[in-house]
Amino acid sequence: MSSTQDIPFAPIQASTAAASVDHLFLFELSVGMFFVALIFTLIVYFALRYHRRSDDEVPPRVGTHYGLEAAWSIIPFAFMMVYFFWGAKIYVNLKKPVTHAMEVHVTGKQWMWKIEHANGVREINELHVPVGQPVKLIMSSQDVIHDFFIPEFRIKQDVLPGSFVTEWFQATRVGEYHLFCAQYCGTDHSRMVGHVVVMEPAQFQAWLSQAVPSDSPVAAGAKLFSSYGCMTCHGQRSPTMAGLYMSRVTLSDGSVVTADDAYLRESIVNPSTQIVAGYPPIMPPFYQLSEDQIFQLVQYIKSLQTVKAGGGELPGPATRPAPGDQPAMQPNFPPAETPYAPPVIPGGSGNQ
């Protein structure tokens, strides 16, 4: 006797977001099925009730029914508003920043997912995470648009070249789940698949300790910070980057922005687009950096949140500039809730 396996109506719910997404989907599906059934029933009824019975029959004149016209406009509009606000609430909850989340870097590349954990452990087309722990994905693309899609978690995020995008989830069930690229990205798009392995926290820590790490992103970023000469303007005798991440930065046009991951990335790759008030645009762009290197530099700058301004040098060598070189900037960073406006120092760097 052959056995059959039930095909589920939808993928299992394996994250905190899955239930809310499914509830909205089922509501929309139910409303849609109701109106499809209603419309087809009325079509059949009207076809039978009002069909022409003879060639000489002249149908009576029908007047305008304003109430009916208003009803078939207002009722669908009301349902659309329910969809909109319900969906917006779910979207905001999915995009709301999560505190104390485990950060993981994901790079999309034709045709694989490159994944790096905070301690330097790297994976290809596989992501190990602990159950019950919020996980923040910081994602970038090395070539074209990809899409990070985990059906069981109900998360799907386009990964764009030239920028950082973030997504987060919290797995609720131990197991192994499919990971797809849901954006056609070239010849071998269908092979850009992988797995997310959700483990008990103790098992995850054991796996993490057994894996062979390379330099952590912070350590690799510190080396890049030194080797590319960033120390000359940003690290002389004072940790000028300390406290910068997530602070409010005043730009030369008077606008105030938050120094988040995207801001730091843009300031490295194309610094002339966001000039800090009081500084000339002299910082060169670093287009030659790979997405991994940009992420490592950003992680290093973020790690300097623990370094207090005026509390010593940044990690790595700090060579004093020769006479005539650009002097180091030494702003005293204010608390994160106040706008950051560095003092005017002639010849300083063009961006923080």
In this prediction, residues 83-106 reach a mean pLDDT of 90
| Mean pLDDT, all residues of the chain | 80
In this prediction, residues 317-336 reach a mean pLDDT of 34
| Local confidence band at 278 (pLDDT 50, 70, 90 cut-offs) | confident
**Cα 7 versus chain centre, distance:** 31
Q: With beta carbons less than 8 A apart as the criterion, state whether 225 and 321 touch.
A: no
Contacts of 210 (CB under 8 A, 6+ apart): none
Question: For the whole model, what pTM was predicted?
Answer: 0.69
Read off the pLDDT of residues 229-272 as tens digits, 9 standing for 90 and up: 877 777 654 446 777 888 888 888 888 888 888 888 888 888 88
| Local confidence band at 184 (pLDDT 50, 70, 90 cut-offs) | very high
Query: Closest Cα partner for 303 from 342, 245, 264, 252?
Result: 245
Angle of helix 217-227 relative to helix 291-303, nearest 10 degrees, comes to 100
Task: Say how far apart CA 307 and CA 260 lie, in whole Å.
Answer: 18
Task: Indicate the range of 69-78, 114-123, 214-223 predicted with least confidence.
Answer: 214-223
Residue 256: CB atoms within 10 A of its CB come to 12
Contacts of 97 (CB under 8 A, 6+ apart): none
Read off the pLDDT of residues 62-85 as tens digits, 9 standing for 90 and up: 778 888 889 989 999 999 999 999
For residue 345, pLDDT beyond 90: no
